[in-house]
Structure 1
Amino acid sequence: MKKFTAAILSTLMLTAPLAQAQLSVNVGAINVNPSDTASALNEIKTAGLVADSDTQLGITFDYQYNDNIVFELIAATPFSHTVEGEGYIPGSPNTQLGGVEIASVKHLPPTLLAQYHFFGANDKFRPFIGAGLNYTVFFDEEASAALKGVLGTDDVKVELDSSFGVALQVGFNYDLNDKWGLHAMVSKMDINTDATVYADGKQALTSDVELDPIVAMFGVKYKF
């Protein structure tokens, strides 16, 4: 998949004619909605983890390479997610995890994409498609009181590894005048991370977490 994305970027740059470069910025609401498929705990096959969605201030920067090719960098204020349990931990009786808060975590997913914009440079409405690469860093991981209770200790730490993957995108821009416009996009991002829970300094639980979120943004565009 990564080789396919790289091939798309190279082809776009080689096949499109050059035009005067232009910079623009898009500001608006951006939502990250992780997959609702639970990621299983490796040590407990009957239990898993899911994360809720979050909306933050999105800021994206566009560099117009030519009339059709634009490079976009997606940035935002940090996203905060609550990680909840799914399923149960076997016991007598079983410990139900469905809907129980397991941890909270923040992340930043900067993403660089190359877009192909359809129609002419002077058209007000221009849909686009894009492909690129995403890097996600996690921080401020906090174990919940419920997780500490399950593990029987207050010395619980949660760590999530950084993630690197591909991103695909569709969207449109609509010019209101020479400087201002509307910007909308939806992206599918490949975000997978290894989660590790430590209790009293020892590894207690692990999970291969597949977030793979849908990222959507709507805002205003300003051309410099």
Structure 2
Amino acid sequence: MKKTLSAALIGLFLGTSSYAHANLSVNVGAINVNPDSEVSKINEAPTLGLNADDDTQLGLTFDYALNDNWTIELIAATPFSHDVNGRLGLEGAKIGNIKHLPPTLLGQYHFGQAGDTFRAFVGAGVNYTVFFDEQASQDLKTTLGTDDVELKLDDSVGLAAQVGFNYAFDKHWGLHGMVSYMDIDSDASVYANGQKALTVDVKIDPVVAMLGVRYTF
């Protein structure tokens, strides 16, 4: 259901753009999600905490130009995977692994004129992050004294802000670069033997950076 919703957002964007391909651009390249380094403390034991490492995947973004200056962009990617590591009193322990898809829809303002070789832009919009396939580590299972351990994260909705540029090589091909900040917060729960054992207010709040090739239809 979660993956279906993300796919529907992408399908809706492409469907509304199909009648005017001349206004559509596709950007493909490496995209990195680097979570905030702030430690998320375990609610039941504030001397214990955790945070997630960064990950790089294949980024795919779609731009639909409304006019010479305003554009709608949808950010998509292959699923991100993050190791969740212990901090504070859990330093050195691996808590688990999580995967997510963070489709983000933004409105962008592009400076300059439509024919310019280099165009900078700023954007703002909404991010919807879907968490799935959360896996508890053996370290966490050992700490809780059971192999029946589940790790669950709630989906997140938050604001996003962006700066970036497009550089045109010719009529169709170019270079695309952007940096975004996304407000991604989630309630994480750890279940042991079917009972909720731990809860964490996870603040991911990543910086997302992408550099890729741009093709304009």
Do these two structures clear the TM 0.5 threshold for a shared fold by scoring above it? yes
- Distance in 1, Cα, partners of 2:108 & 2:22: 14
* Post-superposition offset of 1:21: 6.1
Name segments (4+ residues, structure 1) moved above 4 Å: none
Deviations 1:65-113 (A, max 9, x none): 000001000000000000001111xxxxxxxx11311010100000000
Alignment match, 1:124: 117
Alignment match, 1:64: 65
Alignment match, 1:30: 31
CA contact (8 A) 1:84 1:99 kept: yes
Alignment match, 1:156: 149
- Distance in 1, Cα, partners of 2:31 & 2:100: 14
CA contact (8 A) 1:29 1:218 kept: yes
- Distance in 2, Cα, partners of 1:21 & 1:159: 43
- Give the alignment of 1:41-80 within 5 angstroms: 41-80=42-81
Larger radius of gyration: 1
CA contact (8 A) 1:30 1:56 kept: yes
Q: What is the TM-score when the length of structure 2 is the normalising length?
A: 0.90
Alignment match, 2:173: 180
- Distance in 2, Cα, partners of 1:74 & 1:28: 12
CA contact (8 A) 1:187 1:214 kept: yes
Query: Residue 218 in 1 paired to residue 175 in 2?
Result: no
Structure 1 unmatched runs, 5+: 1-19, 89-96
Alignment match, 1:200: 193
Instruction: Tell me the amino acid that sits aligned with residue 159 of structure 1.
Output: K
CA contact (8 A) 1:21 1:66 kept: no
Structure 2 unmatched runs, 5+: 1-20
Q: What is the TM-score when the length of structure 1 is the normalising length?
A: 0.87
Q: Which moved more, 1:20-29 or 1:196-205?
A: 20-29
